[in-house]
Amino acid sequence: MDTPDLINLPATALTQSMKALHRLANYELESGIQHRMQELGGRKEFLSESEHAELLSLVEFSERRTIEKLEAEVALQQLKAAAPELLQAS
């Protein structure tokens, strides 16, 4: 698989991509979600079926966001290694 020539990408597309990657890399779960996960997790032995399903959904959501965050961090590191001058401009 060939690596695209980053220097020839339109500047606005690259800038927008970098902003999106930074947003993903810096993402944190909202405090309400964190609080609800902690609340449900703290009493997981006593949850109703619907609360258990809610906890599983929240954990899956959190795991997906963590993966996306890590992927964005890797992509930013790769861009920095390939063209550090591009990151300095953003």
82 CB-near residues (< 8 Å, 6+ apart): 3, 6
**pLDDT of residue 50 exceeding 70:** yes
pLDDT of residue 13: 79
pLDDT of residue 20: 93
pLDDT of residue 88: 63
DSSP at 13: H
Phi, then psi, of 10 in degrees rounded to 5: -60, 140
pLDDT of residue 81: 86
**pLDDT of residue 45 exceeding 70:** yes
DSSP at 3: P
Inter-axis angle of helices 31-42 and 49-82, nearest 10: 130
Mean local confidence (pLDDT), 10-25: 85
